[in-house]
Amino acid sequence: MVLSYAPPLFWPGLLTFAIAAGAVALLLLLARARSRWPSILAVILAALVLAAAWGSIRSTTFYKDRLSNVTNIQSRQLINRWSLELAGRKPLLGWGYGSFDRVKNSANLSSGSLPRAWGIYYTSHNTFLTILVELGGVGLALLLVPWLVVAGSAIRRVRFPTPERWAFIGLIGILAIWIVNAGTIDMRFFPFACTLPWLAVGLLRRMVLDDHQWSGSSGHPRTQPTH
């Protein structure tokens, strides 16, 4: 699961990949009784190391240019607000595919106390808001509803100790990592990454169908929970 996102980890501008992967992996480990306490201890140790090295981290160019860059943060907030305003004007079908920057820059939206150039210069950093603006609520629903339906079916099967349990967990983890990242960057600039959630959802759907066929018309997983 982590290897599928390994290349972006070497690009500091996409640190969010590492954060999302670590957060999802931690949740998966905490959900398992055997690995819960080692995971908690590892988090405490990592927090202590981070606190000890915080002074050095704050002096790095990366921290100054990215993490403490107020202009970068405020410009993202401005574009997010503009995106919601544009989506509100055409909530159902949106402004058309590929229209985000053109519409954003020509709509003459208010920037409040911030320089309007910040909203013009930067583009979207939220995949879901981009889809909402371009394709409306209908387009966003067509993206998310299949994922939620398939993931919900897969999550119900994770509760049972089936042979494919960790395959289910890994694929759900890939989907979760992608969703977290898509809320902080625009995935239209990373076409290969856009295939990962659909591959995960497709495999999950196939596994759910196989499990259903194995267990017959009852729909119960092939192995029942132990008490």
pTM to 2 decimal places = 0.72
Residues 6+ apart with CB under 8 A from 161: 223, 225, 226
- Residue 18's CB is within 10 A of a number of other CB atoms, namely 16
H or E, element range at 124: none
Q: Read off the pLDDT of each residue in 49-54 and give the average, rounded to a whole number.
A: 75
Helix crossing, 165-182 with 191-215: angle to 10°?
150
Q: What is the predicted pLDDT for the residue at 12?
A: 44
What average pLDDT is seen over the chain?
79
67-81, 142-156, 205-219: least confidently modelled range:
205-219
User: For 38-65, what is the mean pLDDT?
Assistant: 72
Q: Where are the domains of the chain?
A: 70-218
- Confidence category of residue 5, pLDDT binned at 50, 70, 90: very low
Per-residue pLDDT at 220: 56
Q: Which amino acid is at 35?
A: S
- Output the pLDDT for position 88: 94
Residue 201 CA to chain centroid, in angstroms?
14
In tens, the pLDDT along 165-206 reads: 788 888 888 898 889 889 888 888 888 888 889 999 999 999
